[in-house]
Amino acid sequence: MSRPNHPECGREAALQALHRVERDGAYLNLALPPLLKALPPPERALARELATGTIRRLNTLDWSVGLFLKHPLAKLTPWIRNLLRMGAYQLLYLERIPPHAAVDEAVRLARRYGHRGVAGLVNAVLRRLAKTPGKLPRPLPQGEPLEHLALSTSHPRWLVERWSRRFGPAEALLLGEANNLPPPLALRPNGLRCPSPAFLIERLLAEGVPAELSPRLPGAVLAKPGGPLSELASYREGLFTVQGESSLLVAPLLQPQPGEHIVDLCSAPGGKSTHLAELMGDRGRVTAVDRHPHRLALVERAAKRLGLTAVKTIAADGTRFDGSGLPPPHRILVDAPCSGLGVIRRLPELKWRRRPEDLQRLARLQLSLLERAATLLRPGGRLLYSVCTTEPEETTAVADTFEAAHPSLVPEPFPTPLLHGLERDPAEPGRLFLHPHRHRLDGFFIALWRKGDLLC
């Protein structure tokens, strides 16, 4: 039995990445790229599709494969388990791949990553599945609505259950389906080096990367690269940063001004810290705080690549940072650690790793960070709280608790031009909710407060 270190094809690269995600708890967006370097573009694209799709549809694939197994799927090795999942994904969701090709390639890999008996098992299970993909007896929506919703949208039951209670079953279905759509790749032009988004688009097109303006967020650029963006000259020259469209709203909503001191209490890997510095014209100071020095190194590298000198890093726990020796900040960003359930489109493994109890634990951390920010902020200063989730425990509950404890911090209405086309509740000024199924954006919650009556 031979298990080569370097994958020879897209299917093998996908299998190795899926194995690392399951065994090591790795994230696919980090585990897969190193495995693609030696592969031609078509095989790279296939690997990305198979690995991402398999994780995205994990519970549905496990349920489908389990119908044809005599023993639980969990008793198989991770290699064969993920090989069956990957084969089932091709049979159930990829019409362009002939069933015989999906089965034959899975059997070939089973011989390399298992033994003859297990290869026979893979062959038998997938061939039976190939004959009945449209006739699988999924739970009926009338009799088992939550189980049906979980399997049809490929989400954990606890998550669709809470969405059904909050939004109703019809909207929960739309949210689950939206989470299964691949998100666009958004770029933030560096205003200090890019005269305009059109300039960046021209450069990308010259480098063979299709690009266009985002229809949802003015100034953002959407790209469809065939390879790693880090290999482009435009990237090395610091002309842009890769950043999700929802995330791109955060720094502008804080309205940073040249010459100010701004603190980013949870800065790594640096997307929002560097955005703040760009919006300030690199004049002033952005204190980028993170508890992990190795993650602060990412912030420093990003600032250097973008040509920014205003970003200064400090290794500290954001819940205890006292700002010693620094002037009171004019503005503070708390882009807090959260469940990430708003960015399932980008990180589908999150929906399988999160548990209901995580939400309260993370909410307590978010509140601690806001409490610390409130003590640091100067009178008249602004505090912005953002999380890439839409779950109530991490959004409205945190904001309500914080406001009740700090009457001197009042909601600050957002600048209307920045939110053109995004629905807002007039009864909740200074709060913004984004949902994948409503806005075609990542799920985000953003709240803005001003301290006292003094102007910055």
Average pLDDT rounded to a whole number, residues 188-215: 96
C-alpha–C-alpha distance, residues 200 and 370, integer Å: 36
The total of structural domains in the chain comes to 4
Two structure tokens written together for 374? 């409130």
Q: Is the pLDDT of residue 4 over 60?
A: no
Whether residue 416 is found in the same domain as residue 287: yes
Average pLDDT rounded to a whole number, residues 63-84: 95
Whether residue 264 is found in the same domain as residue 401: yes
At 3 the pLDDT is 56
Q: Is the pLDDT of residue 454 over 80?
A: no
**434 φ/ψ sector (left φ>0, alpha ψ -120 to 50, else beta):** beta
Average pLDDT rounded to a whole number, residues 64-80: 95
Spatial CA neighbour of 336 closest among 381, 281, 391:
391
Residue 140 lies in a domain: no
C-alpha–C-alpha distance, residues 247 and 12, integer Å: 33
Percent of the chain past pLDDT 70, that is, above it, reads 95
Whether residue 195 is found in the same domain as residue 260: no
Q: Is the pLDDT of residue 32 over 80?
A: yes
Residue 130 lies in a domain: yes
Distances (CA, A) of 194 to 47, 207, 222, 228, 249: 33, 16, 15, 21, 19
Whether residue 199 is found in the same domain as residue 263: no
Whether residue 215 is found in the same domain as residue 316: no
123 phi/psi in degrees, rounded to 5: -60, -45
- CATH number of domain containing 114: 1.10.940.10
Whether residue 425 is found in the same domain as residue 363: yes
- Choosing from 242, 266, 285, the residue where a domain stops is 242
Two structure tokens written together for 343? 């960015």
Whether residue 329 is found in the same domain as residue 433: yes
Average pLDDT rounded to a whole number, residues 199-204: 97
What would the pLDDT profile of 397-449 be if each residue is shown by its tens digit? Answer: 999 999 999 999 999 998 766 676 676 666 678 999 999 999 999 999 999 99
What would the pLDDT profile of 297-345 be if each residue is shown by its tens digit? Answer: 999 999 999 999 999 999 999 999 999 999 999 999 999 999 999 999 9
Whether residue 113 is found in the same domain as residue 253: no
Whether residue 293 is found in the same domain as residue 440: yes
- CATH number of domain containing 262: 3.40.50.150
Q: Name residues whose C-beta falls within 8 Å of residue 143's C-beta, 6 or more positions apart in sequence.
A: none
Whether residue 163 is found in the same domain as residue 106: no
Q: Is the pLDDT of residue 1 over 60?
A: no
Do 260 and 456 touch, CB atoms closer than 8 A?
yes
Residue 196 lies in a domain: yes
- Choosing from 77, 106, 135, the residue where a domain stops is 135
Report the chain's mean pLDDT, rounded to a whole number. 94
Residue 383 lies in a domain: yes
Q: pLDDT band for position 73 (50/70/90)?
A: very high
What is the maximal distance between C-alpha atoms in the chain? 75
3-state secondary structure 133-152: HHHCCCCCCCCCHHHHHHHH
At 137 the pLDDT is 74
For the entire predicted model, the pTM comes to 0.93
Residue 3 lies in a domain: no
- Residue 333 CB burial class (10 angstroms; 0-12, 13-18, ≥19): buried
- Residue 411 CB burial class (10 angstroms; 0-12, 13-18, ≥19): middle
Whether residue 226 is found in the same domain as residue 258: no
Q: Is the pLDDT of residue 455 over 90?
A: no
Whether residue 160 is found in the same domain as residue 192: no
Two structure tokens written together for 401? 């608790």
Residue 388 falls in the annotated catalytic set: yes
- What are 221's strand-pairing partners? 187, 213
Provide the domain limits for residue 218.
185-242
- Choosing from 135, 154, 169, the residue where a domain stops is 135
Q: Which of 194, 338, 388, 456 is catalytic?
A: 388
Token pair 């090709």 is found at: 101
C-alpha–C-alpha distance, residues 37 and 445, integer Å: 36
Residue 175 lies in a domain: yes
Residue 363 lies in a domain: yes
Residue 2 lies in a domain: no
Kindly state the DSSP code that residue 39 receives in the 8-state scheme. Answer: S
CA 166 to chain centre: 22
Do 173 and 159 touch, CB atoms closer than 8 A?
no
What would the pLDDT profile of 379-396 be if each residue is shown by its tens digit? Answer: 999 999 999 999 999 999
